[in-house]
Amino acid sequence: MRVAAEPGVGWQPGYIVAAVAGVGVVFAAASAPILDEDIWWHVLIGQQIAETWQFSALGNAWAPFGNQDWTTTQWLSELVYGVLHALGGWSGVTSLRVAIAALTVSAIAVTVLPRRQSLGATLIFVVVVAGIALWLSRDRPQALVLPLAVVLARWLHSSLRGYVPPWWQVALVTALWSNLHGSWLLVPGVFALATACRLLDGEALSRHLLVLVVVSTAAGLANPTTFTGGLLAIPRFATHTSDLVEWGHTPLLSSYGAMLMALMAAIVIAWSRPGKVPRSEILIVLSMSAFGLVAIRNVPLALILLAPVAADRVSSALPGDRNRGEAERAMLRVIVAGIAAVGLAAATLAWSRVDPLAGAPSASIVRALPAGSETRVLNEYALGGFLAAQGPAGTQVVIDGRADRYSLEYKGEYFAALRSLTDWQEFVQRTNPDVAVLATTTPLSVELELAGWKVLERDSGVVVLARPAQVTP
């Protein structure tokens, strides 16, 4: 990290807090087992891509219902997960999470901390890394693009100050992003926002920025799945995800939204200090706040994109740092480096000792499933991927976590049946399951038991039920 030489700017004790927070988040990511309910099928899809090099009609073997021509929008992430699983099992998958967490936190530190008032910058750093900690502990394609989001945040920030990144860098990052995750549309969106910001501040229309909008859009389309259904899948998410919590609006006072709320509050308080705030900054803060509030899953991206602007604003509202001598700064460097080194070593140790399956549904659930040729499971939505990946060979689920793969009608009938709101018998008859794996709090589990299905296992809030005919040896 380059240390600025300006008086009063540079290494400060506040960085010790930042170092502790940063390594704490990495440590938390390393010590968590697999918690994401979708990683199971991402790995399976990745393995199938590695075998067939096809991006459509995936995962039909375990999911007989839904669109059989479904196209993935994150093939590269899935391929990486599939390869890591082949190399190191589920610990191989979680190793990527630790690396991404360390990379993202470091990138945010480099973006937010230098050349700013240390207390303000540290505050923003801590809020942002705490706000994305939840996502860094998950194994999901979205987490893989968070380091790229930090790069985008730096570009947005620098674009407003006259520095426009080279087009080839933008093209490379967007192309990588679009192959990792469908959220790549943020890149042209952010450059369009930067263009509007400069106009709002009274500057001439920036052709460079407009070129970047075009370049990033073109680069994002440079994706093997673009013209085989991947592009069309993106708008489908908007209509197919109404039942999913992470696509719901962000409640500001929830654990998801608290840090976004804190960041917005810090900015607004800093705005209330004397001096006018540029219109461009207001536009960025309002648009990114709205983006974060639209859906819970947007929160980490919004936090990262707001971070440099927030760090600038909060730093400027606070008195300047005290000058420190070279010896004192050297000592601080050593302390921070020591914390980082010890923290990363501890994180690596924690990762090596944690059982990646400790957070997964109990093994007894899988053991209770009948082994044999094909077992069709009427499953809880969140358990679909897990059962497909960890269940006996030939396990088929009636739904998995690929929300855009299933028609709205099918999902409506599925969720209605689980809540036993309508004629659930018709849905059960149609999907013809051999067993049901449901949460004990799902009303259908009670109905099935009442209808004569036999309980094979009940563990950790999940119940396995066998269809009456299945009970007979």
Partner 1 sequence: MLLTIHVTPRPLHLLAVVAGGLLLVYSASVPIVDIDLWWHRRLGVEILDQQAVSGLGNSWAPFGDQDWTTTQWLAEVMYAWLYSLGGFSAITAVRLVAGLLILVFLGWTVLRGRSSLTAVPVYVTAVFGLALFIVQDRPQTLALVGAVVLGGWLDHILNGDRSIPAWQVGLLTWVWANLHGSWLLVPAVLALAALALLVERRTPLARATGIAAAVAAGAGLLTPAGLSSALAPLRFTQRTTFLGEWNQVELLAPYGIPLALMAASAAVCWARADTVPRAEAVVVLGVSVFALTANRNIPFGIVLLAPLLASIAGRSAHPQPDRSPPGTAVLAGSLAVVLATAAIVTHSRVDPAARAEPRVIASVLGQEPGTVRVLNTYEAAGVLLEFSGGNVELGIDGRADRYDPDFVARYFGAVYRLEDVDGVLETIRPQAAVLRQSEPLATHLQSRGWVATHVDGDYVLMEARPTERGAD
Residue 6 region, left (φ>0) first, then alpha (ψ -120 to 50), else beta?
beta
Contacts to partner 1 from residues 246-265, by CB under 8 A: 248-254, 265
CB-wise, 255 or 472, nearer to partner 1? Answer: 255
Residue 124's alpha-carbon distances to 107, 192, 413, in angstroms, are 14, 25, 45
How far, in Å, CA of 49 to CA of 54, rounded? 6
Stretch that binds partner 1, among 32-40, 95-103, 286-294, 347-355 (CB under 8 A): 286-294
Q: Pick from 438, 450, 263, 289: which is nearest to 361 by CA?
A: 438
How far, in Å, CA of 433 to CA of 35, rounded? 27
Check residue 277 for interaction with partner 1 (CB under 8 A): yes
Strands (E), 147-246: none
CB-wise, 252 or 382, nearer to partner 1? Answer: 252
How far, in Å, CA of 73 to CA of 225, rounded? 7
Check residue 211 for interaction with partner 1 (CB under 8 A): no
Stretch that binds partner 1, among 31-39, 65-73, 84-92, 269-277 (CB under 8 A): 269-277
Contact present, 390 and 40 (Cβ < 8 Å): yes
Q: How many CB atoms lie within 10 A of CB 342?
A: 12
DSSP string, 159-178: HTTT----HHHHHHHHHHHH
Selected from 8, 64, 412, 443, the binder of partner 1 by CB under 8 A is: 443
Q: In 326-383, where does DSSP find H-type helix?
A: 326-353, 363-368
Please, what is the minimum distance in Å from the beta carbon of residue 193 to partner 1? 16
CA angle 66, 70, 73 (to 5 degrees): 135
Please, what is the minimum distance in Å from the beta carbon of residue 62 to partner 1? 28
Please, what is the minimum distance in Å from the beta carbon of residue 8 to partner 1? 25
Q: How many CB atoms lie within 10 A of CB 314?
A: 25
Selected from 202, 274, 325, 473, the binder of partner 1 by CB under 8 A is: 274
CB-wise, 202 or 274, nearer to partner 1? Answer: 274
Please, what is the minimum distance in Å from the beta carbon of residue 300 to partner 1? 18
CB-wise, 215 or 270, nearer to partner 1? Answer: 270
DSSP string, 181-202: -GGGGHHHHHHHHHHHHHHHTT
H-helix or E-strand containing 9?
A: none
Please, what is the minimum distance in Å from the beta carbon of residue 310 to partner 1? 13
Please, what is the minimum distance in Å from the beta carbon of residue 264 to partner 1? 8
How far, in Å, CA of 458 to CA of 438, rounded? 10
Selected from 16, 130, 294, 354, the binder of partner 1 by CB under 8 A is: 294
Stretch that binds partner 1, among 154-162, 192-200, 285-293, 325-333 (CB under 8 A): 285-293
Selected from 185, 199, 200, 282, the binder of partner 1 by CB under 8 A is: 282
DSSP string, 33-59: ----SSHHHHHHHHHHHHHH---BS-S
Check residue 450 for interaction with partner 1 (CB under 8 A): yes
Selected from 202, 275, 319, 325, the binder of partner 1 by CB under 8 A is: 275
Residue 249 region, left (φ>0) first, then alpha (ψ -120 to 50), else beta?
beta
The 401-430 site mask, x for binding partner 1 (CB under 8 A), equals ------------------xxxx-x------
Q: Site size for partner 1, by CB under 8 A?
A: 39
CB-wise, 372 or 452, nearer to partner 1? Answer: 452
Please, what is the minimum distance in Å from the beta carbon of residue 295 to partner 1? 9
CB-wise, 289 or 375, nearer to partner 1? Answer: 289
In degrees and rounded to multiples of 5, residue 437 shows phi and psi of -125, 105
Residues that bind partner 1 (CB under 8 A): 248-254, 265, 267-269, 271-277, 279, 281-282, 285-286, 289-290, 293-294, 419-422, 424, 441-443, 446-447, 450-451
